[in-house]
Structure 1
Amino acid sequence: MAASSSSATAPAVKGVARTLAHRRQAVVGFLFALIVILVLHTTVVFGPFQSTNANVVLESTSGEQNAKTSSPLAAQAASAPNNSTQAAVHAIENGQKDDVAKNDRETRGQLGQTGKNDASDDKTQEELIRQELDRDVKRGAPRKPICDLSDPRYDICEITGDARAIGANRTVLYVPPADERGTDGPEWAIKDQSRKQLGDIKEVNVKTLSAAQSLVAPECTSRHTVPAVVFAMNGIIGNPWHDLSDLLIPLFITTRAYDGEVQFLVTELQPWFVDKYRLVLTNLSRYDIIDFNKDAGVRCYPHIIVGLRSHGDLDIDPARTPRNYTLLDFRLYIRDVFLLPSDDRGIPYKEASKKNAAGNDNGTAVTENPKPRLLLINRGESRKFVNLPEISAAVQAAGFELLVMEPSRDMGMEEFARAVDSCDVLMGVHGAALTNFFFLRTNAVLLQVVGLGLEREALHYYGNQATAVMVQHIQYFISAEESTLYEKYGKDHPAVSDPDSVHKQGWQGAKRYFWAEQDIRLNVTRFAPTLHQLIRTLQE
């Protein structure tokens, strides 16, 4: 019995041992599989998911939702990480580790590419937002003031849009577009002449209407398709220098670029000025001149300028004009307006000499050589020549054909312009009448007789300008004895012996002596060399 029991127990022990060995193997296998699953779960699921979310955050917050849904794997990782673990276990059990790794690499690449596209889209969206913000800033930015009061000579206002001119109360209104209306409206009082320092220029009111005022703006009684310019026809006009320097040249600067497509609204309209310079005014504007003071309606224009631009005394700065106009352009323009011969024909003396030479070549008898023609302007009041007959004789003896004229306000400009154009030399004492040098041809001569105390003025008001318009400028400076101030006050009076000291005392003293009281008794002997120099200049 004992032997039988031992033999029976041995197989049982072996069976138990075998069972334990199998169980131990199963436990080891389970633990190994568990470790592999945990490693793969950490790498596949949490690694790509966290990386994708980081890219979205760094690239653009606004593109975050698109990045989350652009990859199926990312969606699965976000919603069901247990499913990802089960898939990995299933792949290991079926020996598909390599395929899983390949798919994982492809998935990572897809996520990375998606992040790049989203980043590009996000940048584009940001740029669009930035542009929109810029536009909003521009919409809300204050408009440039329609009036500029910064120039020392003139004030100017320019209105583009709904501009309404009301002559009855000397007012020009600007009605802004609805989206640009403010709670208040700026207002300016403008002297609409080229010299804003003049005390007798009445002001024109220019006003931008507020939002509330725009709703009750006066209705238009007439609508115009061309711009308008509001300007005063007064001041110290009345002689040619001020007529051109204060009105015609500023009007040319301000309106020439419109080529006549502009209307003038004139405050303090002067009928004599309109009659005298009608050719210029009707050329600069093809439309009726409106007497703004007497205009009862509400005129509406797409563009209104109030005031006149001015660059200096009888001057034009091409850098400040729309088409780089120069003073020479103005001279040529004036000649065209008054229908004078083309400027390229040359001065009359040389033209006559050419005809004379052609006549000799053709065998036509010529009895006399042509003479240069000199227009002598004699002033009627101050700074006149007191020995005019003696001067006339000396000019003719020097070889000139002489024409003497005394201009007046009533003299027609067409007649005077043709007379100046027909001459080679314009001669006169420093004064307003010399402004007619604009009617001379290129290379003709302005001969300026300069009285005592007028040396700087002669160059500033005429010499520089004549050179700018291609007219030659010759000056004759009188001696003290040739001024009637010498006869009246004697050689020791400051006005005779030291004119600069009089200038230093102010304008009134200089005006009294040098402009108002002084006449000229020309010493023809002393003047003779100037005449001979003039002949040589014309012959060159």
Structure 2
Amino acid sequence: MGTDSPAAPVGGLGAKSTVRAVAQHHQAVVGFLVGFFLVLLLYTTLASQFGSQTAIGVLESRPAVRADQNATITPTSPSKNLAQDEEKEKNPDQAPVNEKNPDQAPVNEKNPDQAPVNDASDRMEEELIREEIDHGGIKNGTNTEPVTPRKPICDLSDPRYDICDISGDARTLGANRTVLYVPPVGELGADSQEWSIRDQSRKYLEYVNKVTVRSLNASQTAPECTSRHTVQALVFAMNGLTSNPWHDFSDVLIPLFITTRALEGEVQFLVSDLQPWFVDKYRLILKNLSRYDIVDFNQDMGVRCYPHVTVGLRGHRDLGIDPTRAPRNYTMLDFRLYVREIYSLPSAGVDIPCKVANSAASSGAIAEQQRKPRLMLINRGRTRKFVNFPEIVAAVQNAGFEVIPIEPRRDLSVEEFSRVVDSCDVLMGAHGAGLTNFFFLRTNAVMLQVVPWGHMEHPSMAFYGGPAREMRLRDVEYSIAAEESTLYDKYGKDNPVISDPESIHKQGWQFGMRYYWIEQDIKLNVTRLAPTLHQVLRMLRE
């Protein structure tokens, strides 16, 4: 008991001091937390107000990586004093200063996994940078160039054709049927793009071979140029369904006009699957659309370098032009007048031949002395031919026309034949390629189309009637009766080929093609035809 009593006062003083120390500690902790909270709140507010500027600084700066460590040093904004940058280059091992608060301790490079106090704000800045990049670049009064995604080289979206446009360093390897795009050094990436397209206006036509278009990546070496050109180039095919005049124009010549007419000859043709007969037959059109030598693409062993290469032909529809999609709003009328100009035919202001001839006659001339309207009568050589051709010629003459009977041949000179067509007021023939010569008719001349049996009115209008009207020609159609078709004698009136053509078409296009395009010939009832001939005469006199 004597030993315990003196110790009591000492224990009481120790307890009071302990309580006091704890209270002071709590005050210090609370004060620190309050201060930290206020600093964090202030920083977050400032970051939200100037986040975009901070993002710009981060994007423009060049990150430096320590050669002896894996940690990435925080990049320095170009707006800082250049002396600090020089000092850092002199002392690369010196820990970087926190630029937002120079008095704060430097970043701990030895513990890169330690999260900084403003980790949430840094993530926000990263998101802002990504968002700005995704929207096409940062624009905030800086010199940073917009980051624009490169436009795809090839457009495969059109239901009719595929097209590739290469601007910049384009290199053609004809022997490999390949066209290369070499991006600028700054755009070379790890990925290489490649397309394989049919270089004509019908993307699903199997008769046309494909051309490969490839964009090189950083690991691929571009072949050296063997020739350099300042003019642009066009790669396209001449094969497919060509040799039929309708396809010559519909698949190649009209799409070629759409694709290159606005270039006014400043383009070189690199022709895959070149057809010498096509070049010879349509040489005036080809020479007018391009002032340069035609290159046989498949046989070209060099590497040609161009500032721009287009692969493929733009085609809007069968034997047609959509002005809303064509350069300079070209129309079928523009194409017809263009063709007539190339072949040195009379200008658009010159009237149809019979009116020109009769107006030049003396005022005292009687009607019998006036020139009759001239009608070119085309007889097809194989399918859908007129089996009573002499009888039809006589009927047309009796109706009051001068007749020029023609059986088209492949070796006909287009230059010479165009002048014969131009001298006519009417072009008459069965639905088929021979009517394609209507490009050489004058404005207000008449195309008289004989429509075969088998619900052929729609293709007749789509392939010839519609284009004729767009070119300011007058379209007249004569649909034959079942008895005027040789199918009537071959199959009989009760066969679906005669009695129900629609059921034939529903079985597939190949069945309609077989009967109505290939097997059918025509024996015109000249008595039934006579009213249509008189209708054409009245139109010419208007």
Q: Which amino acid aligns with 2:404?
A: L
**Post-superposition offset of 1:211:** 1.9
Runs of 4+, deviation exceeding 4 Å: 57-62, 132-137, 363-367
* Contact 2:138–2:144, Cα closer than 8 Å, also in 1: no
* 1:68-106 deviation per Cα after TM superposition (whole angstroms, max 9, x unaligned): xxxxxxxxxxxxxxxxxxxxxxxxxxxxxxxxxxxxxxx
Return the alpha-carbon distance in structure 1 between the equivalents of residues 490 and 173 of structure 2: 55
Q: Identify if the C-alpha distance between structure 1 residues 179 and 135 changes in structure 2 by more than 3 Å, giving closer, same or farther.
A: farther
Q: Distance in 2 between matches of 1:176 and 1:458?
A: 48
Say yes or no: does 1:170 pair with 2:177: yes
Task: Give yes or no for the alignment of 1:290 onto 2:295.
Answer: yes
1:133 deviation in Å? 8.3
Rounded to whole Å, the distance in 1 between the matches of 2:143 and 2:290 is: 39
Q: Secondary structure at the match of 1:205?
A: strand
Alignment partner, residue 477 of structure 2: 475
Q: Is the 8 A contact 1:154 1:193 kept in 2?
A: yes
C-alpha separation between the residues in 1 aligned to 2:175 and 2:316? Answer: 31
- Larger helix percent: 1
| Contact kept? 1:377, 1:407, Cα under 8 Å | yes
How far apart in 2 are the matches of 1:482 and 1:59?
86
Give yes or no for the alignment of 1:274 onto 2:275.
no
- Give the match's secondary structure for 2:404: strand
Counterpart selection for 1:508 from 498, 507, 510: 510
Per-residue deviation, 1:486:
0.6
Residue 212 (structure 1) shift: 2.6
Query: What residue number does 1:341 align with?
Result: 346
What amino acid does structure 1 have at the position aligned with 2:350? Answer: R
Please give the alpha-carbon distance, in whole angstroms, between the structure 2 residues aligned to 1:516 and 1:188.
37
Shift, 1:165, TM fit: 0.5
| 1:179 CA drift (Å) | 1.3
Q: How does 1:227-376 map to 2 (within 5 A)?
A: 227-356=232-361, 359-360=362-363, 368-376=369-377
What is the SS of the residue equivalent to 2:327?
coil
> Judging changes above 3 Å, is the alpha-carbon distance between structure 1 residues 209 and 133 closer, same or farther for their aligned structure 2 residues?
farther
Equivalent position SS for 2:146: helix
Which amino acid letter does the alignment assign opposite residue 139 of structure 2? Q
Over aligned residue pairs, what C-alpha RMSD do you find?
2.3
Q: Secondary structure at the match of 1:131?
A: coil
Q: Aligned to 1:160, what secondary structure does the other structure show?
A: strand
2:441 maps to 440
Match of 1:220 among 222, 225, 231: 225
CA distance in 2, matches of 1:511, 1:367: 46
> Given that residues 148 and 157 in structure 1 are in contact (C-alpha distance below 8 angstroms), is that contact kept between their aligned partners in structure 2?
yes
Match of 2:197 in 1: 190
CA distance in 2, matches of 1:247, 1:199: 15
TM-score, reference length from structure 1: 0.74
Map 1:453-492; keep pairs closer than 5 Å: 453=454, 454-492=456-494
Aligned to 1:497: 499
Q: How does 1:5-84 map to 2 (within 5 A)?
A: none
Change (3 A) 1:468 1:539: same
8 Å CA contact retained: 2:256, 2:313: yes
Of the three residues 206, 209, 221, the one matched with 2:213 is 206
Q: Secondary structure at the match of 2:324?
A: helix
* Structure 1 residues 38-187: aligned runs within 5 Å: 131=139, 136=144, 138-139=146-147, 141-187=148-194
Deviation, 1:142, is 2.4
User: In the alignment, residue 170 of structure 2 is paired with which amino acid?
Assistant: A
SS class of match (1:238):
coil
- Return closer, same or farther for 1:134/1:478 CA change in 2, 3 Å cut-off: farther
Shift in CA distance, 219/415, structure 1 to aligned 2, threshold 3 Å: same
Alignment-derived partner of residue 77 in structure 1 = none
1:164 match: secondary structure: strand
Is the CA contact (8 Å cut-off) linking 1:239 and 1:433 kept in structure 2?
no
CA deviation digits over 1:368-424, x for unaligned, max 9?
121100000011111111111111111111110110111121111112111111100
User: Counterpart in 1 of 2:527?
Assistant: 525
Q: Matched residues in 2 for 1:240 and 1:153: separation?
A: 20
Listed one character per residue, the Cα deviations across residues 253-300 of structure 1 (whole Å, up to 9, x for unaligned) are: 111111011000011000011111011111100100000100011101
Unaligned runs of 5+ in 1: 1-56, 63-128
Q: Is the Cα–Cα contact under 8 Å of residues 172 and 178 in structure 2 kept in the other structure?
A: yes
Whole-Å Cα distance in 2 between the matches of residues 445 and 135 of structure 1?
65
SS in 1 for 2:360: helix
Deviation at 1:461, TM superposition (A): 0.7
Contact 2:139/2:146 (<8 A) preserved: no
Identity percentage over the alignment?
64
Shift of 1:366: 8.7
Report if aligned partners of 1:384, 1:429 keep a CA contact under 8 Å in 2. yes
Change (3 A) 1:449 1:190: same
8 Å Cα contact 2:340-2:440 kept in structure 1: yes
